[in-house]
Structure 1
C-alpha cells in the first residue's frame, strides 16, 4: 500500500517531466519510507539516467521491483502514470466538449498569434546560429534544402534532422582538420 500511495503521489504532484519528479521520488524513497539510502538513490538515479526511456517511470519500476519484485514494479509504474493518464483523458474530454464554445474559440484565437510569434522567434534564433556557424551562403542553402526536403519531397522531419546532424558533424570535422593543417603549415 505504501508503494502504491507513494508512486501515486509522485504521479499526481509531479509536474514538468521526469527530472522535476525525481525530488518527489527521492523524498518518498529516501526520507518518508527509507527504502533506499541517499547514496543508493543516487546510484540508482545514475543507472536509470544511462538507460533509455522516461526517468521517473524507470525509478518507479526499480522501487517497485525492489519492494515487491515484478508485481511491485507493475503496480508502481501504474500508480505513477495512471494519475497523469486519467488527467489527460479528462482534460481531452473537456476540450472536446468545450471546442464548440465561442468563448473557448476566442481564447484559442487570442493565444494563436502569441504561439506564432514564439515559434517565429525560435526559428529566427536558430537561423541566426546557423548563419553564425556556417556563414550566410551555407546557412541559406541549408534552409532551402531543408524546406525542399520537408515540403516538396515530403521526407519525414526526423530523417531531415539526422541528415543535417550528419552533415554538421562532417562539416565541423572537416573544418577542424583544415585548421590543424593550416597551423602545421604555418608552424613549419
Structure 2
C-alpha cells in the first residue's frame, strides 16, 4: 500500500512542482516529512545534501533517495526499497513525460501551419538575444580580467573565446572537445 501512496505523492509533486528541483524540495519535504512521516527532518536534510553531490537533477535525485528511505524505514528489505526508489522516481518524471509527448504530438501535427511557423520565426531572435545576453553577462573582469589589470590574462581569454567560437561555428569541432582544449590551454597559459 505504501507504494501506491508513494506513487501518488510523487506524481502530484511532479505535476505541480514548478521552478525546477529546488522548487520541488519544499513540496517533497512537506509530503514525506510532515504529512506521511516517512522520513525525519534530519534524514531529509541528509538526502538533500546527497542529492546535491550526485550527478543529475536535484528533484529527481531527492525523489530517488526519498523513495528508497521511505520503504527502508517501513522495515522492508533493500530489494523492496529499491522498488520504492524506482516508484518515486518514475512518478516524479511521469507528468513531464506525458506533457512532452502531448506537446510533441501537437507540434508534429501543426508544425507546418502558418501560425506555428510565425511563432518560431518570432522566437529565433529572442533565443539569440538571450544567448547573447548570457554571453555578455559572463564577460566580466572576474572571467576575462581587464587590459589594465592583467593584459596577458585578458588577451589570452579573448583569444580562447575567439578560438572556441571559430572552432565550434565554422570548423564544426565538438563543443565538449573545445571545452577540454580551452581548459588545457587556460591551465598552460594562465596558471
TM range, smaller chain: 0.7 to 0.9
The structure with the largest helix share of the pair is: 1
Contact 1:150–1:157 (8 Å) recurs in 2: yes
Choose the corresponding residue for 2:145, options 127, 132, 141: 132
Alignment of 1:1-188 (within 5 A): 1-66=4-69, 67=71, 68-127=80-139, 129=141, 131-132=144-145, 134-135=153-154, 137-173=155-191
CA distance in 2, matches of 1:131, 1:110: 33
The structure that has the greater radius of gyration is 1
Q: 1:185 aligns to what? A: none
1:98–1:143 Cα change, 3 Å: same
Displacement over 6 Å in runs of 4+: none
**What stretches of structure 1 of length at least 5 have no aligned partner?**
174-188
CA distance in 1, matches of 2:52, 2:136: 32
**What stretches of structure 2 of length at least 5 have no aligned partner?**
72-79, 147-152
1:100–1:163 Cα change, 3 Å: same
Q: CA RMSD in A?
A: 2.2
CA distance in 1, matches of 2:157, 2:54: 35
Q: Which TM-score applies when normalising by structure 2?
A: 0.78
CA distance in 2, matches of 1:62, 1:122: 34
CA distance in 2, matches of 1:123, 1:47: 31
Contact 2:47–2:66 (8 Å) recurs in 1: no
